[in-house]
Amino acid sequence: MFYMPVKVFDEEDCINKNSKELSVLGNKAMLVTGRNSARKCGALQDITETLKLLKISWVEFSEVEENPSVETVMKAREIGIAEKVDFIVGIGGGSPMDAAKAIALMIRNNEKNRHYLFEEGNSSDHLPLAMVPTTCGTGSEVTPFSVITNHATQSKVSIPYKIFANLAFIDGKYLRGVSRTVLSNTTMDAFAHLVESYINTKATDYSRMCVNAGLEIWKRSKDIILGERKPSDDDYKNMLRASMMAGMAITHTGTSLPHALSYRLTYTDNIAHGRACAYFLKGFLREADPAMRAHVLGLAGFEDIEDLQNYYVNTCGNLKVSEELLEQTVQDVISMPGKLSSAPFETDIQVLRRIAGISSF
């Protein structure tokens, strides 16, 4: 089965040009953003101007932190209930969009407490959603996933609900002011999604169709991330499209071991998500089938694993992680049967230690 229910508009000024699509979502919106980026890039202004023209009221919630927490979701939920909002617009990178999904779920289920976020077997019914990505890594605008930080368990987890947006507005102009550091980290997240979706037990011809297209598009921006040339508007479009194609791919397969191993690095050491995921790609690819490895590296324009690793170091820096922390994350992942089964090769604790690059075992 191939299922991708999000209606995507991909063009410059797509919010304004397709404003009528927003008008059917509801009568009052909650705009879910981080503290600054949505305003700086112009996406928030585009949404509010469009809502004004449509005579739709809104309330702004701009308190989403990096790696959004349960507490933030519940705070927004209470505001949304009090303000009687009936649809949500997530504007930003993965954090605001993931938070927007969880908020839409919890407002719809307004009698439930915070534990509902993590309960298995419930309906995924939620308020209507529109997404406006302003970074190019997560693909959350087209995925059903919402990753939330649970401080009670000191973990980041994907909540067990399938929450698709109704609409996504893809506009490359929102990347114009993004720093090269953020572009490096987020494009590596998209690359990790593509690799982990292709080298995956759940991969199909349909999901790999998205991976193949995504890698071809992703490759076009490598020289920009390396600082070899300045980006054009077409380059920014390509970065967002590659991220979206990667999101479509992982929608059908989920992520695999590099993402699972990354979560403790992000939570404990505050390492940027894409940088943390990509840290484990070298080891993951070494364990993979040689033909699969050659396929994904070739489409992305890399000669071999070392070529990829050199690119990672040159763009994201030479990340140093203590073996103690790496062993902790290995112990985390060995108890995740879903992630272990996603890898199309035999995986035990020694394999995880090799992927993590732990030299003392």
- Mean residue pLDDT of the chain comes to 96
Cα 74 to Cα 71: distance, rounded to the nearest angstrom: 5
Both tokens of 71, joined, read 């507490």
Cβ proximity of 17 and 10 under 8 Å: no
Q: What is the identity of the amino acid at 85?
A: V
Span 82-123, pLDDT tens digits = 999 999 999 999 999 999 999 999 999 999 999 999 999 999
**Looking at the chain, which runs of residues are DSSP E strands?**
7-10, 28-32, 57-61, 87-92, 129-133, 147-150, 155-158, 167-170
How large is the average pLDDT for residues 64-89? Answer: 97
Contact 7, 165 (CB under 8 A): no
Task: Name every residue whose Cβ is closer than 8 Å to that of residue 29 and which is 6 or more positions away in sequence.
Answer: 51, 56, 57, 58, 59, 85, 87, 88, 89
Q: What kind of fold does domain 7-173 have according to CATH?
A: Rossmann fold (3.40.50)
- What is d(CA 71, CA 78) in angstroms, rounded to the nearest whole number? 11
CB 136 within 8 A of CB 240: yes
Query: What is the CATH architecture assignment of 179-356?
Result: Up-down Bundle (1.20)
Residues 6+ away with beta carbon under 8 Å from 30: 58, 59, 60, 61, 76, 79, 80, 83, 85, 87, 88, 89, 103, 107
- Give the tens place of pLDDT for each residue, 34-67: 999 999 999 999 999 999 999 999 999 999 999 9
Domain layout of the chain by residue ranges = 7-173, 179-356
